[in-house]
Structure 1
């Protein structure tokens, strides 16, 4: 679902009671190629002043300053509600039960994933590339949410735009990382025709599988491929040097 928020073209999913979320696109900013235009990543090779302006535009679309992360393709989760939180913690997911606390995840092929309970009392956001996904970043995020609100129920998740199953070529190491955890995940890998030792991986399908296995009852997907939709999304796999989109999510302010 595409819409405009504070003059920014964004992509979002189903409406959830008490929860707000969207993923930015590459449109609506001030950058120039190859970061044109709404690059939000400070470590993507763009001009710092440009990123600052783009983040200012995103800030105008949300109720508070986002908690930006220094993502490391891992599976650790930070509690965004803890006091004296350091600037840009080096983790790949965050959780909150505080209304109006804005979580942020940056992506450019990896999956942005938001998780919430049916009551809109606790929220999580995760950066899920293959390393983080195979390492349990989604399960760790859900566990942290359950710890914050033990009586939460009816979990739901949205998997945002990421590299699609026709574009994500991987090697034996990626296949092994998932199959070692659960042989059933082999069905998300298709041998690459004519290329020995290479597969096409369905990253969004793997995320759906792991979310449901962890107890998420409702999983929705954007179905949008960052590699294929060059006018809409940044893609590291497609372009190399490029910008970053962001998933922004927050619980309704009191």
Structure 2
């Protein structure tokens, strides 16, 4: 019997064959500042502890997840076992029991499927990936793979940094404004509230993601209620702590 690990409840309107597992920072063996369920090999944690945490994770999954080398791109690849880490920020599959995964510690993890339950994807959306279309690319792969429509898509927004803590510069706001038509700029602008610091803004990454989804006809979007920065018991936060671990958000099909 697998040792159950602490996880976030994913509440969304999807078929019963769609399964998810979203970890917290709790339940592992990593030491401070990675305490305790760090799953990332690239952050300076003791590798033996990371591998023990990953083994514990694998016991709760139908197969080992397909890890990626995340580089803040808009690249989404098919989830396939490989001996080398692929540079990408999302993966998709239509194969049963293949686990797509992304790691985060403030960036937005996005889980995607369709109402038919015939394909899944996980993408990693920091502001750079979000601005370059990583979420749209994930949706595109699901639609192409499963021959479904945009209104069939179901999306869940996982734990990310909240709007009250995500300070960005003028240049970030301008990038998002320049990507939309003038008629849509007020909606995008509303995602940026002036900070107390000059030329800085507090950005709502959740709402920015919802706007990107709506622009391609995806309206069924759940989640987006956590703040990784504010909850140091449940979540790692790079903005808050600097050197820290990573949580993982996973999705797969049981059949």
Correspondence 1:138 to 2:140: no
Partner of 1:215: 217
Q: Is the 8 A contact 1:9 1:24 kept in 2?
A: yes
SS of aligned partner of 1:238: helix
**SS of structure 1 residue aligned to 2:144:** helix
Within 5 Å, which residues of 2 pair with 1:130-209? 130-151=127-148, 154-182=152-180, 183=185, 184-193=187-196, 195-209=197-211
How many angstroms does 1:215 deviate by? 2.1
Q: Structure 1: any 5+ residue segments left out of the alignment?
A: none
Matches within 5 A, 1:26-175: 26-81=25-80, 85=82, 87-151=84-148, 154-175=152-173
Q: Which deviates further from its counterpart, 205-214 or 96-105?
A: 205-214
User: For the residues of structure 2 that align with 1:21 and 1:209, how far apart are their CA atoms?
Assistant: 24
Secondary structure in 2 matching 1:177: helix
In structure 1, the residue matched to 2:247 is 245
Runs of 4+ in 1 over 4 A off after TM superposition: none
Q: Say which is worse superposed, 224-233 or 153-162, in terms of deviation.
A: 153-162
Contact 2:25/2:235 (8 A) holds in 1? yes
Q: For the residues of structure 2 that align with 1:88 and 1:113, how far apart are their CA atoms?
A: 20
What is the distance in 1 between the residues matched to 2:123 and 2:247? 14
Answer with 9-18 or 130-139: which moved more: 9-18
TM-score using structure 1 length:
0.93
Decide which moves more: 147-156 or 21-30. Answer: 147-156
Distance 1:203 1:14 in 2: 20
1:222 shift after superposition:
4.0
Deviations 1:182-224 (A, max 9, x none): 223111000113x210000000111111112222221011411
CA distance, structure 1, for counterparts of residue 71 and residue 237 of structure 2? 17
Distance 2:82 2:54 in 1: 20
Q: Say if 2:21 is the partner of 1:22.
A: yes
Q: Which of 214, 225, 228 is equivalent to 2:227?
A: 225
TM-score, length-scaled by structure 2: 0.93
Equivalents in 2 of 1:90, 1:115: separation in Å?
20
Residue 6 (structure 1) shift: 4.1
Bigger mean CA deviation after superposition, 98-107 or 153-162: 153-162
Question: Do the aligned residues in 2 keep the contact of 1:154 with 1:217 (CA within 8 Å)?
Answer: no
